[in-house]
Amino acid sequence: MQRIANLDDIAEGLDALCLIDPRLERVRCMAGEVPLRLSEPGFRSLASIVVSQQVSRASADAIFGRLTKLVDPLTPQAILVAGEDTFREAGLSRPKQRGLVAIAQAVADGLDLNHLCSLDAPQAITAMTAVPGIGPWTAEVYLLFAAGHPDVFPARDIALQTAVGHALGIDPRPPEKTLIQIAESWSPWRGVASRLFWAYYRETRGRDATPPA
């Protein structure tokens, strides 16, 4: 697996995507800078993604900022002893509280988040989604930004659905199953396609909806 590790990899992927699907040349021109956004694999990275579930990027950044001040360092052990009052002060919903605690317990029990980054995407997603609080979107985003996986496209992401629909003239925006089918043609560079359409969304909608890395 060729990891997406630097901006040269992004450029290579964008060139390949435009050859695969010439419609993406216009998308690329409109998207402007397509950032790398890599984070260190591990609990902190996964926790930030859990916090960002179903909220705006601005809200996620604010909540995660409060959480990391209240729980410092942000480790599985610290989460397991933090308590509900701390989570409430950070602004975490009850489902996210339960999810973070379940993930922290899974890591304490031996779930190796670094090793998952070396697995093929289906294997890693299966292992991650066995943990309460980790759905397919969370697992896919972790593989994109912590593992640099080149061929993952989180088709459940509303911003990606909106961006692809707008860019390709699909109205209403394509739902998950349709977007999965559309993105299949962009393999093996679906990880770069994800970044491209998040950048396109940023430029056309005026706000960044890329999940935190």
Domain boundaries, the chain: 7-37+151-205, 43-145
Q: What pLDDT digit, counting tens, does each position of 14-44 carry? A: 999 999 999 999 999 999 999 999 999 999 9
Predicted local distance difference test score (pLDDT) of residue 54: 86
CATH 2.60.40.10 fits 7-37+151-205, yes or no: no
Q: What pLDDT digit, counting tens, does each position of 129-170 carry? A: 999 989 999 999 999 999 999 999 999 999 999 999 999 999
Q: What is the DSSP letter of 174?
A: P
| 50 neighbors 87 (Cβ within 8 angstroms) | no
Q: How remote is the C-alpha of 7 from its chain's centroid?
A: 18
Predicted local distance difference test score (pLDDT) of residue 111: 95
Predicted local distance difference test score (pLDDT) of residue 74: 96
Q: Rounded mean pLDDT of the chain?
A: 95
Q: What pLDDT digit, counting tens, does each position of 85-114 carry? A: 999 999 999 999 999 999 999 999 999 999
Report d(CA 102, CA 99) in Å as an integer: 5
Predicted local distance difference test score (pLDDT) of residue 1: 63
Give Cβ neighbours of residue 119 (< 8 Å, ≥ 6 apart). Answer: 127
**Hey, what amino acid is at 155?**
A
Report d(CA 202, CA 52) in Å as an integer: 17
Q: What is the DSSP letter of 2?
A: -
Q: What pLDDT digit, counting tens, does each position of 38-57 carry? A: 999 999 999 999 999 888 88
Q: 43-145 sits in which CATH class? A: mainly alpha
Q: What is the DSSP letter of 157?
A: -
Task: Record the tokens describing residue 10, joined without a space.
Answer: 């992004």
Q: What pLDDT digit, counting tens, does each position of 54-83 carry? A: 888 889 999 999 999 999 999 999 999 999
